[in-house]
Chains A and B, each alone.
Chain A
Amino acid sequence: MKIAVVLLLPVVVALVLAGLRVQAALDEAGRLSAVRDQLPVLRGTVELAELVADEMVTASAQPGSGALRASIDEVDAKVAEVQRDAEFAGLPADTGRELNTALGGLTGLRTADGASGDPILLTDGYRDLVFTLSELVPGLIAGAGSSDLDATAATTRSMMQLRMNLAVEEALLNSARPGPSDRTTLAAANRVAAEETVLSNQIQRGMSPEEAERFQAVIASAAARQDALRNALTDVRIADLSALAAPLSREAAALDDLIGGLEDSLSATVTERTNEGRSEALRDTALVFAALLGALAIALLVARSLVWPVRTLHAAALDAARRTLPATIERVRAGEQIDWREVETVGVEGDEEIGQLARAFDDMRRQAVLLAGEQAELRKQVGEMFMTLSRRSQSLVELQLSVIEELESDERDPGRLEELFRLDHLATRLRRNGENLQVLAGGTPSRRDHGPVSAIEVLRGATSEVKDYRRITVVNAPNGSVRSHVAADVVHILAELLENAIRFSPPEEKVVLTADRGSDGGLLVEVVDHGLGMTPEDLADANRRLAAGDAVSPETTRRMGLFVVGRLAAPHRVTVRLRPTMAKAGRSGITASVHVPGELVLADGVREPALAANGSRRGAPADPVAEPMLGRDRSVPPPTRTPIYENVVSNWFAESPVSPGPDRPAANWKSPVDETRRAAESAIEAPVPAQLTPAGLPTRTPGAQLAPGAAAPRTRTGPATGFRDPNAVRNNLARHYNGMRAARLRADSGTAPEGKADPR
């Protein structure tokens, strides 16, 4: 907008100035053109002056003759013509009036001529008329406003007056009669001749040298004639005077030619100037308009070159502010490494102001990305610090819980046990709080390996993490276990939902926790409360947050529970949904349902595949045949994997750490013990047939787990059986084992010194 004003202002000024210039040129052209239109009047006037002079001469020479009548007719025709021309030409008002007055005086002269017959008065009248006509010439030409034209017009006027004077002189001479009365006539002629001298000088001053020369030639006889007139006045010799008429009329004719020439040159000059002026005006106009158009075009080009980068910059700035920059920062926050040097530029080049602005803007954007990166880095560092600290405190809390657990298991005093329970409860809540902290810091809570956790233990674990755990009723628990790595998270999710349900339901209301197996084999847990409930919008919003797992925001602190639930559920594809309970009419409440997918739930009796190989795990719970309905299982060891057995396996039959070289050939050294061992291994791996008593307890077949042939079926031998000293048996076995090892080593290398293989 401002650019438009800046551009328009000089254009307008230029337009005004150019308009003035063109106006002036047009004005001059118009003036010249008006003068040119008046040229016929000029010509007519000049001719009329001549005709009038002729009429006067004729009237003086042959009054009342036919020639005079013809001359008068001629003059009248000319007068009519001049008047018509004047009407067409549109003369200036005063000029036209003068012309009319002069022409109107003509009839008066003619009648006066007839009445008085005084030649002096008559010629004076004619002279006045012609002089008036001659004054019209410079008056008309003055309209052109040109000094040289004015000079020529003045010369023409003077010449016309001179010519008239000559005519007057001739007329006076013609009418001169011998006698005293003629003395006055002669005196008048003499006076006129004197005037001629003045006029001639005047004319010569206004002429160029060559024109002056021609004029001199024309009036060469004037001096002699004037002398003759002066002499005639003193000598009174009339005869001489008549001889003067002939040169006079010659001179008058020559002057007529000169006047005609002058008048032609005037016409030509005026016409030429008019044409010139007009073409000049047109040229000026064309030039001005061309210049204007050029200036406009340049202005538009400049404006375009200014406006385009500004527009581009504007668009780029808006785009960056509304789309690119937030998206980039989002990406940076999501952990993507973005080099600030790779931020795309606006695309406006150049060294001028706009280009500099564009570069400044690019710099700013890069700085923003750089800052966002640094901020993300800082956030990550703070988060890591957070995580480290809270991991430490988590492990301390876990340790504390272990200690409390130990104390509890031995405590027999109910009062102290109750206090321990309170301590336990606080520590458990502390553990949950620490996990929340870790989730908020953007990490995953540190977990211990619990092994698969049965559904009831998951429910009970969730219950025990809640502040008002007494208000929770566990209604149902299905069989099946949740995989180890998910169990703690599911417990935490349920605890958060329970905490919410308890907080938003009246104190006398119980919160119901129930679980069942879903159709896909997964676990479906529901937390049912009869509390305040939520508006449908809040509910939809909460569900959306749970499903999307929103980012950390100021909202998060208000709804930390939901946030943590969403964050914990998402990686395991555990889904959490809230819906109104609708248990009884007029009562609200929310039911939160948690679905743990089938692949995360193990049916009872299935060993967790990822952990089955880990033979040294304490209290493997996944042998439910031995104890199908116990929540915890470390009390009864599985029959094939007693700690003693494992110890024996690892120490006796595992490959010794010193013996196996990588390039050692397969042992071809065999002993009957190997067969036994292999048989024992196959016996271990053989599936245990699950035969249950009517009460659900397993029946065991004695000796089924033993290696075939390793032991005879136990028979009651009675107390008479001989006593065996365990020390003796152990020494025996140790010696046997040492011997075996030594033999193996020797068979292997042949050089191994005896007794060095095993420190035992």
Chain B
Amino acid sequence: MSEADRPGFRREQRSAPSLARPYAWTEGRTRPIIELAIEALVQTTPEGHAVPYNRASPASMVTQLCLRPRSVAEIAAHLSVPLGVARVLVSDLLGAGYVLVRDTLGEDASWDERHDLLERVLSGLRTL
């Protein structure tokens, strides 16, 4: 029996809600201890890298994800959690010193940085 034949199975335009609900990631917390911009770049610090990886921990997922600098929005998209949840997770890590948050593009940003940002926006758009 293929999946589509099962009773109750219906493909709809709207995507099916996920099994794991977003509030389970942060135990229901929605207020980050540190306010973060959604485009702020997050990168794992060596301390954060040193923490043993635990698949069960959301924090581990973020530190793994941010080995390469990623924006908060990107993190939210990767983890497919609401932005608010990603902010709470990142701010927790920031408080523990496991990640660094870099400023977003300033006036002195180089072309590469701008190009990089645009590319990331494009990839973000594609995932939508």
Is A450 an interface residue, CB under 8 A from the partner?
yes
**Cross-chain contact of B21 among A424, A447, A456, A632 (Cβ < 8 A):** A424
Q: Report the nearest B residue to A644, measured CB to CB.
A: B126
Please determine whether A417 and B56 come into contact, CB atoms closer than 8 angstroms.
Answer: no
Query: Do A469 and B27 touch across chains, with their CB atoms under 8 A apart?
Result: yes
Task: Choose one: A415, A444, A453, A630; the contact of B61 (CB below 8 Å).
Answer: A630
A457 to B58, CA, bound (A): 11
Chain B 73-101: CB-based contact to A (< 8 A → 1; otherwise 0): 00011111011100000000000000000
Which of B8, B17, B32 has the most A CB atoms < 10 Å from its CB?
B17
Residue in B10, B19, B21, B83 whose beta carbon sits within 8 Å of that of A409 in the complex: B83
A477 partner, pick from B28, B38, B55, beta carbons under 8 A: B55
| Per-position binary interface string of chain B over residues 4-47, scored 1 when its CB falls under 8 Å from any chain A CB and 0 otherwise | 10111111001111111111110110111000001000000000
Let me know if A98 is at the binding interface, CB within 8 A: no
Contact (A457, B19) CB under 8 Å given A408-B82, A485-B6: yes
Minimum C-beta distance from B26 to chain A (A)? 9
Which residues does chain B contribute within 8 Å of A402, judged by CB atoms?
Answer: 14-17
The answer to whether A446 and B17 touch across the interface, beta carbons within 8 angstroms, is no
Tell me, yes or no, whether A398 is within 8 Å of chain B by CB: yes
Contacts of B22 in A (CB 8 A): 405, 408, 421, 424
- A405 contact set on B, CB distance < 8 A: 17-18, 22
Contact across chains for B10 and A635 when beta carbons are under 8 A apart: no
Residue of A with least CB distance to B1: A485
CA distance in complex: A661, B9 (Å) = 33
Q: Does B2 contact A (CB under 8 A)?
A: yes
Q: Which of A292-300, A459-467, A543-551 contacts B (4 or more CB under 8 A)?
A: A459-467
How far, in whole Å, are A611 and B1 apart by their CA atoms in the complex?
11
Name the A residues within 8 Å of B83 (CB-CB).
Answer: 409-412
Nearest B residue to A629, CB-CB:
B64
B20 touches A414 (CB 8 A): no
Known pairs A428-B21, A630-B79, A696-B64; A459 contacts B56 (CB<8 A)? yes
Residues of A within 8 A of B18 (CB): 405, 450, 457, 461, 632
Q: Does A195 contact B (CB under 8 A)?
A: no
B19 touches A417 (CB 8 A): no
Distance between B22 CB and nearest chain A CB, rounded to angstroms: 6
The chain A residue with its CB closest to the CB of B26 is: A421
Given contacts A476-B54, A618-B15, contact A611 B79 (CB under 8 A): no
Q: Contacts of B107 on A, CB cut-off 8 Å?
A: none
Would you give the shortest CB distance from B99 to chain A, in whole angstroms?
A: 15
Tell me, in angstroms, the Cα distance from A635 to B81 when the chains sit together.
Answer: 11
Chain A positions within 8 Å of B25 at CB level: 460
**Considering the chains assembled together, what is the distance between the CA atoms of A610 and B3 in angstroms?**
8
**A464 in contact with B31 given A409-B82, A485-B3, A629-B55 (CB within 8 Å):** no
B3 contacts across to A, CB distance below 8 A = 449, 484-485, 610-611
Inter-chain pairs besides A443-B7, A457-B18, A460-B20, 14 sampled, C-beta below 8 Å = A402-B15, A411-B82, A411-B84, A418-B28, A424-B23, A457-B20, A461-B21, A476-B54, A478-B55, A629-B61, A629-B64, A634-B80, A636-B78, A637-B126
Pairs A–B under 8 Å by Cβ, sample size 29: A402-B15, A408-B82, A409-B82, A410-B82, A411-B84, A421-B23, A424-B21, A424-B22, A424-B23, A425-B21, A447-B8, A447-B9, A448-B10, A450-B16, A453-B19, A460-B25, A461-B20, A461-B24, A464-B24, A465-B21, A469-B28, A477-B55, A484-B3, A487-B19, A629-B53, A631-B20, A631-B80, A632-B79, A695-B64
Measured CB to CB, the residues of B under 8 A from A are 2-4, 6-11, 14-25, 27-28, 30-32, 38, 53-57, 61, 64-65, 67-68, 76-80, 82-84, 126-127
